Amino acid sequence: MKLTRRELGATAVATVAAATSQAQTPPPPDQGIAQVVRDANRRNAEALAKFEIPIETEPAFQFRA
């Protein structure tokens, strides 16, 4: 899967590490912060949606009885 610069920027903003020096798309200054956050989550969801996952792939956690 190829990432565009825009996608790369959007994903970097979302990381908890506050990726200060990585590729980023600054949020538009005229939008409310809540909208900025919702937009970032939407872009994250869109980036994940483009990813094709083999049907047999299980999530990366285990339940241990």
Partner 1 sequence: MTDDVYFATITELNDRLRKKEFTCVELVKGFAERLEKIGPRYNAVALPLTESAVRRAKDVDAELKRERFRGPLQGIPFGAKDLLSVAGEITSWGAKPFASQVLDETATVLTKLDKTGSVLIGKLAMVELAGGPSYRFPNASLFGPGLNPWDRSRWSGGSSSGSGSAVAAGLVPFALGSETSGSILTPSSFCGITGLRPTYGLVSRHGAMALSWTMDKIGPMCRSAEDCGLVLQAISGGDSNDPGSAGKSFYYTPQYARKLSDLKAGVATVDLEWVEPEMRPVIEAALETIRSLGPKTVEAKLPDFPHGALAGTVVAAEGSSIFEQLITSGKVNELVDARQIEGLKAGLDIPAKDYLKAMRIRSLLKRKFRELFADVDVIIAPGRYGIAPPISEPLDGSGNRGAPPARPSSPGMNGLIPAGNLAGLPALSLPCGFSRGMPVSLQIVGPPFSENTLLAIGREFQSRTDWHKRRPPAPGV
Binding-site ranges for partner 1 (CB under 8 A): 1-3, 5, 7-8, 10-27, 29, 33-34, 36-38, 40-41, 43-45, 47-51, 53-54, 57-61, 64
Q: How far apart (Å, rounded) are the C-alpha atoms in residues 13 and 19?
A: 7
> Minimum Å distance from CB 2 to partner 1?
7
Neighbours of 62 (CB within 10 A): 6
Q: How far apart (Å, rounded) are the C-alpha atoms in residues 19 and 14?
A: 8
> Minimum Å distance from CB 42 to partner 1?
10
> Minimum Å distance from CB 41 to partner 1?
6
